[in-house]
């Protein structure tokens, strides 16, 4: 039997590629940076399956370049804002993601950012390495307590909920905002209280973002929202860069409108807004929230399974556009 032709846009952790190679004629981009657009458009020609990363824009032009035989786009991420899902659906192409396995790993990193920003770990580490430590001081690298404070979670889905569980161990009051309000019983069980966005921003000592990126969440945090936050507040973003107006954030951090920010994602990755990297009250990491050994391997396995199931004619486990099912 002829093998399905697929393209994978980057080498993936084991066992992703091995699974794909068993049943497919798989071509893999070997570079260690995002594949150049021209090369991507060329290499997708004639494929039945595509396994991209969130760094690739999978739009109408690309689907057109691939051709009408393209049946599945199996994203190596839980977010799928890099894919024009409506266009894929129109063409009867199945789109899948890798939900669930990233939840705890991403919450761990968001929590690490929160702790590191509050307690100034990165600045303090640099100070030690520079040989500046001259002995204990009562005023060295002071930051706010985390324990007992108020956490505001914006976007209370899987990862938001995992943050609430962590906050419980720190004796925090947990407020959440989401377009979908939970039942009272659920709120009670999770120990969280609903707030309208403006109230959450005004009350929280730490605001952590866990919404998906969509038209309504683009620049969800801009100048007016930053102005509502406490001057002592810290903002954490391990969701998607464009959820925050990064230039407004730089301004707010520079003027002391808010106290600090811990960022895993940036508005125009891999670039950062001018001035951001010069601010001492930020902890900046390169989109590594799902980057545990175990999770990246599981994501590869899930993306490969989604791809293979779709090619076999089975409904893939993590279909994000069920409307396309049966339309291929």
Ligand X SMILES: NC(=O)c1ccc[n+]([C@@H]2O[C@H](COP(=O)([O-])OP(=O)(O)OC[C@H]3O[C@@H](n4cnc5c(N)ncnc54)[C@H](O)[C@@H]3O)[C@@H](O)[C@H]2O)c1
Indicate which residues carry an active-site annotation.
240, 269, 287
- Provide, for the chain, the percentages of residues in helix, strand and coil under a 3-state DSSP scheme, each rounded to the nearest 5: 40, 15, 45
Site for ligand X in 258-287 (CB under 6 A): 264-265, 287
Phi, psi of 200 (to 5 degrees): -60, -45
**Position among 52, 155, 241, 260 found at the interface with ligand X (CB under 6 A):** 155
101 near ligand X, judged by CB under 6 A: no
Distance CA 90, CA 83 (A): 13
- Asked whether position 79 contacts ligand X by CB under 6 A, the answer is yes
According to the binding rule CB under 6 A, does residue 159 interact with ligand X? Answer: yes
Least spacing, CB of residue 40 vs ligand X, in Å? 21
What is the C-alpha to C-alpha distance for residues 132 and 124, in angstroms, rounded to an integer? Answer: 10
Residue 319 within binding range of ligand X, rule CB under 6 A: no
Tokens of 121: 């770990």
User: Shortest gap between Cβ of 108 and ligand X (angstroms)?
Assistant: 11
Residue 290 engages ligand X in binding (rule: CB under 6 A)? yes
Compute the radius of gyration of the chain from its Cα atoms: 22
Question: Measuring CA to CA, which residue among 93, 25, 112 is closest to residue 324?
Answer: 93
* Distance set, CA 190 to CA 164, 170, 226, 306 (Å): 7, 14, 27, 31
Q: Which of 40, 94, 233, 238 binds ligand X (CB under 6 A)?
A: 238
Residue nearest to ligand X (CB): 157
Binding range to ligand X, per CB under 6 A, among 174-182, 225-233, 255-263, 270-278: 174-182
Q: Least distance to ligand X from the beta carbon of 42, Å?
A: 28
Which of 5, 71, 177, 298 forms a contact with ligand X (CB under 6 A)? Answer: 177
13 near ligand X (CB under 6 A): no
First to last CA, the chain: 21
Look up residue 276 and give its DSSP letter: G
Taking CB under 6 A as the criterion, the residue among 117, 150, 217, 257 binding ligand X is 217
Pure H helices in 24-75: 37-43, 60-66
Which of 16-24, 134-142, 177-185, 226-234 is the region at the interface with ligand X (rule: CB under 6 A)?
A: 177-185
In the complex with ligand X, which residue's Cβ is closer, 86 or 126? Answer: 86
The answer to whether 211 contacts ligand X (rule: CB under 6 A) is: yes
10 binds ligand X (CB under 6 A): no
Q: Is the dihedral of CA 75, 42, 49, 326 positive or negative?
A: positive
* Residue 255 CB coordination number (10 Å): 10
**Residue ranges in contact with ligand X by CB under 6 A:** 78-79, 99, 102-103, 106, 155-160, 177-180, 210-214, 216-217, 238-240, 264-265, 287, 289-290
């Amino acid at each position: 039997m002829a093998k399905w032709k697929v393209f994978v846009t980057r080498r993936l952790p084991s066992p992703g590629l091995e699974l794909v190679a068993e049943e497919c004629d798989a071509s893999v981009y070997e570079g260690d940076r995002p594949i150049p657009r021209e090369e991507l458009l060329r290499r997708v020609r004639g494929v039945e399956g595509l396994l991209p990363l969130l760094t690739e824009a999978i739009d109408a032009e690309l689907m057109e370049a691939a051709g009408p035989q393209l049946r599945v786009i199996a994203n190596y991420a839980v977010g799928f804002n890099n894919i024009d899902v409506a266009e894929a659906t129109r063409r009867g192409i199945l789109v899948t993601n890798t939900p669930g396995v990233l939840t705890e790993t991403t919450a761990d990193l968001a929590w690490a950012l929160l702790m590191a920003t509050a307690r100034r770990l990165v600045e303090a580490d640099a100070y030690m390495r520079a040989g500046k430590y001259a002995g204990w001081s009562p005023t060295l690298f002071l930051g706010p307590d985390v324990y007992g404070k108020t956490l505001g979670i914006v976007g209370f889905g899987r990862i938001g909920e995992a943050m609430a569980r962590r906050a419980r161990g720190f004796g925090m009051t947990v407020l959440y905002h989401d377009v979908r309000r939970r039942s009272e019983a659920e709120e009670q069980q999770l120990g969280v209280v609903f707030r309208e966005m403006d109230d959450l921003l005004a009350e929280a000592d730490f605001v952590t973002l866990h919404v998906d990126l969509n038209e309504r969440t683009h620049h969800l945090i801009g100048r007016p929202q930053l102005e509502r936050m406490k001057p002592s507040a810290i903002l954490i973003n391990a969701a998607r860069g464009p959820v925050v107006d990064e230039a407004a954030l730089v301004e707010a951090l520079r003027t002391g409108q808010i106290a600090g920010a811990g960022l895993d994602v940036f508005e125009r990755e891999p670039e950062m807004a001018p001035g951001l990297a010069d601010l001492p009250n930020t902890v900046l990491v390169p989109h590594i929230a799902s980057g545990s050994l175990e999770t990246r391997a599981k994501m590869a396995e899930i993306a490969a399974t989604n791809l293979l199931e779709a090619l076999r004619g089975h409904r893939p486990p993590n279909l994000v556009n069920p409307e396309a099912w049966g339309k291929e």
